[in-house]
Amino acid sequence: MTAPVFLGLPTAPRGVGGLRGDEAFPAAAQRALGDAQLRANLGRATSTIREKRARAVGEVPDWAALREAGAALKDDVLANLDSYLVQLEEQVVARGGVVHWARDAGEANAIVTRLVKAAGADEVVKVKSMATQEIGLNEALEAAGIAAWETDLAELIVQLGHDRPSHILVPAIHRNRAEIREIFVREMVRAGRPAPEGLTDDPAALAEAARLHLREKFLRARVAVSGANFAVAETGTLGVVESEGNGRMCLTLPRTLITVMGIEKVVPSWRDLEVFLQLLPRSSTGERMNPYTSMWTGVTPGDGPQEFHLVLLDNGRTATLADPDGRAALRCIRCSACLNVCPVYERTGGHAYGSVYPGPIGAVLSPQLTGVADNDSLPFASSLCGACYDVCPVAIDIPSILVHLRSRVVESKAHGVPTAEAATMRALSRTMSDARLWRTALRGSRAGRLVSRRGRIRLRLPFLSRWTATRDLPAPPAQSFRDWWASRGGAS
Amino acid sequence: MSAREEMLDRVRRAAAVRPVDVVVRRGYRQADDDPWDTAKLVDVLVDRLVDYKAGVVRCDEAGVAGAITDVLRRHAAPDAVVPVGFPDAWLPGDVGIVRDLPPLTAPQLDAVASVVTTSAVAIAETGTIVLDSGPGMGRRALTLVPDLHVVVVRETDIVRGVPEALLRLDPRLPLTWISGPSATSDIELNRVEGVHGPRRLEVVVAR
């Protein structure tokens, strides 16, 4: 495993985890755009959730003030992260928990694997967790002979379908009910209790099938692995926000609980939850409150897990923190509102981004966690329309960070030499500001019709390959608007 | 250097790059600002609970036992787990009472039809009921495994919003915040009630 370095701070190592895709965004996006089923599934789902969110946020008169406080609290956390982490550790340990520190994905996976083996278990039940997706924990456990059962319905759909998550909140958003039914019928039997006979694609029936399939796993599990939505430094309290009750099952029934948490998830005080518990559910599922939130502090004798381990994860977060123009991405509370409003995400889906963090937040977070060289197409995976910033409950100015990261990408490639892209932009600006040059250019562009097929140009110009490889052009019309206007007697 | 020392060192170095002084302004509504009277608290709470598809019954203190009995009968629940500390005067009739003494195993809990508990705090604005494992609520597994949860909310325990609730809760206790029956939106983002937690939530609001 190697880790690129940013300002002397290591980013997430290569070769482990889910932050890097196999191909650049443009190629993956082009394929996704050809999938009509995917686009229909995404379009339906995102428009539903956009409407719900707008309603839930609209009924909170002090939303803007909550958002401002949420952003400031997270900035305070980032500015004083060392003292909050030490305080959190003291509190968790004082209440009977054990705290582990993991510099990167590999170290976190090794810690969790060792803890599961020490508990004498060969399987774990899992609460949906972005951090464990990020570090590729399931694969690491599998390699050590430990079965990791995902228990969130959407994660179960993804796991049974041998698929990848495509959304932060609803990882199976790219699947419709008919596809989900097929996966359940085909795959549940191989993982445990088979799907009920005659299973239909009614969402209630599918949810019931998941309940039956997972119940035996919950009742026998000895170890659970979770993420955390927040950890209160002042009290050592951890919190998980969820809907289905699978989280409660995992956090309550097993004897041992292992929680993997990014270091930026700490919040200063108990009182600060009044901000985040108002911002998160309304932004995320568009509900006034999510069905279940569990909070625990260390170990409580006679109630829930009697052994608790907290794994604090860096994996590129400190490298992200070191960039003052990009660090606000660490405010993110993983609500996914920015995905649901993004015109690019709505059309390409999450897989095109390659990382487990897709959409606008993924486009600013993934390249910072890995170093921009390893996700150099993601800062360009946006039209900079700004809808993501508007809905972000912690006011992350995603468009500005994208532009900043674009310049970091260009710097990392060019090392001071002007690129063809930059030179072209300058030439274009000169041509468009001169009427005579522009007219000549338009007439010249008709030559483009010769290289077009079915009305599109897919030419790759060698010196501009980074530009043309990612953009199809419509074939130029036979006559420019200017020429057409002149032919009708208009002034040119 | 240990992982701990190295991570703390990295954090300090990273935060030192163009450091910022942060001022947290709490311009939002604070706990006990613009309080609501009891009638409004109850009305809003009930509205939210019904929106979540929870069942709601209102009664006075003397009517609690009868209300719980009716709810259990309506759901044809033959037995109910009742945690230690649940008021004797509220115990339902006509139903097998299962005590968590000695503690029930998860499979034993799975075989009981329902659980009946008190609650610590209820939040009107969000329709949330919080259990803190105190008397009458019991350990967390009790309200999780049975398929029907009947919970009594006293009117005096209803607060307006999240800020008031946090003030009344002790973070050192295991807390479960419940807003309606378990649900999922994972299939085409349509909400379906009832997955792993209790699929039915019945709330008895007691004057």
Lowest mean pLDDT among A34-48, A118-132, A185-199: A34-48
**pLDDT of A481 strictly over 90:** no
Say if B101 is an interface residue toward chain A (CB within 8 Å).
no
Indicate the pTM of the whole model.
0.89
For the stretch B157-192, pLDDT in tens is 999 999 999 999 999 999 999 999 989 988 887 788
Distance CA A272, CA A12 (A): 29
Q: How far is A25 from chain B (nearest CA, A)?
A: 25
Q: How far is B123 from chain A (nearest CA, A)?
A: 10
- A289 to chain B: closest CA residue: B126
Three-state SS letters, chain B: CCHHHHHHHHHHHHHCCCCCCCCCCCCCCCCCCCCCCHHHHHHHHHHHHHHCCCEEEEECHHHHHHHHHHHHHHCCCCEEECCCCCCHHHCCCCCEEECCCCCCCHHHHHCCCEEEECCCEEECCCCEEEECCCCCCCCHHHHCCCCEEEEEEEHHHEECCHHHHHHHCCCCCCEEEECCCCEEEEECCEEEECCCCCCEEEEEEEC
Which residues on chain B are in Cβ contact (under 8 Å) with A275? Answer: 28
**pLDDT of B141 strictly over 70:** yes
Say if B33 is an interface residue toward chain A (CB within 8 Å).
no
A9 CB neighbour count, 10 Å cutoff: 23
Say if A328 is an interface residue toward chain B (CB within 8 Å).
no
- A102 to chain B: closest CA residue: B3
Report whether the peptide linkage leading into residue B102 is cis, meaning its omega lies within 30 degrees of zero. yes
Residue written as token pair 């705290």: A99
For residue A1, the model assigns a pLDDT of 53
Banded model confidence at residue A438, pLDDT cuts 50, 70, 90: low
Closest residue by Cα to residue B118 from B91, B94, B144 = B91
> For the purposes of burial, counting CB atoms within 10 Å of the CB of A483, is it exposed (0-12), middle (13-18) or buried (19 or more)?
middle
Fold exhibited by the domain B37-206: Rossmann fold (3.40.50)
| CB atoms A295 and B171 under 8 Å | yes
Work out the end-to-end distance of chain B between its first and last CA atoms, rounded to an integer number of angstroms.
Answer: 61
Q: Are A173 and A285 in contact (CB under 8 A)?
A: no
Residue written as token pair 């522009």: A438
Q: How many CB pairs under 8 A join A and B?
A: 255
Q: DSSP label at A119? A: T
User: Can you name the residues that pair with A266 across neighbouring β-strands?
Assistant: A231
**pLDDT of A433 strictly over 50:** yes
Look up residue B12 and give its two tokens. Answer: 């300090």
For the stretch A156-214, pLDDT in tens is 999 999 999 999 998 998 999 999 999 999 999 999 999 999 999 999 999 999 999 99
Of A203, A214, A287, the CB nearest to B196: A214
Which residues on chain A are in Cβ contact (under 8 Å) with B195? Answer: 153, 207, 210-211, 243-246
| CB atoms B14 and A44 under 8 Å | no
Domains of chain A: 1-417 (3.40.50.10420), 420-487 (no CATH)
Residue written as token pair 């994972």: B186
For the stretch A235-266, pLDDT in tens is 999 999 999 999 999 999 999 999 999 999 99
Q: Which residues contact A282 (CB under 8 A, 6 or more apart)?
A: A53, A56, A57, A60, A288, A393
Look up residue A95 and give its two tokens. Answer: 């209440």
Distance CA A317, CA B11 (A): 9
- Amino acid present at A157: I
Tell me the ipTM for this assembly. Answer: 0.97
